[in-house]
Amino acid sequence: MANFLYTPNKNAWLIQGANVVDIDTDNINATLVRASTYTPNQTTDDFYDDVTTPVQEADSMLSIVVSGFNVDASNFVFSAVGAGAALDLLIIWKDTTVDATGRLIAKYDISVTPDGNDININVHASGLFDL
């Protein structure tokens, strides 16, 4: 499955509906997930409570920079991720501290097998995504 932006969030940006993500001022987080426990649905998954069995959240909120229509972030870290099966997905979401209101933003395919050490995510030079 390809990387994507979640449609419910894109729609909220367009219509300025409830719980809109203000990408450069809201708390934006990232979570590692196994595809064996969560099958992302670009069209219907809207909030973080749709993400089944998240493995680990990033150590701190992402540092987001918006330039024109480009959304970028500093590199970030998941510390001491417990050894286990491969991690296949990286989910970017608005962290409201309430899973049922934490709007899903983007899903990226990754491939990393945790071994108990840190997992460093290096954001591509062109940023996270363009709007």
- Residues 86-125 have pLDDT tens digits of 999 999 999 999 999 999 999 999 999 999 999 999 999 9
What is the bridge-based pairing of β-strands 70-73 and 129-130? Answer: antiparallel
Query: In the structure, what pLDDT confidence band is assigned to residue 18 with cuts at 50, 70 and 90?
Result: low
* Alpha-carbon distances of 17 from 11, 36, 39, 61, 95, rounded to whole Å: 8, 32, 26, 24, 17
Structure pTM?
0.91
d(CA 103, CA 98): 10
Q: Where are the domains of the chain?
A: 4-130
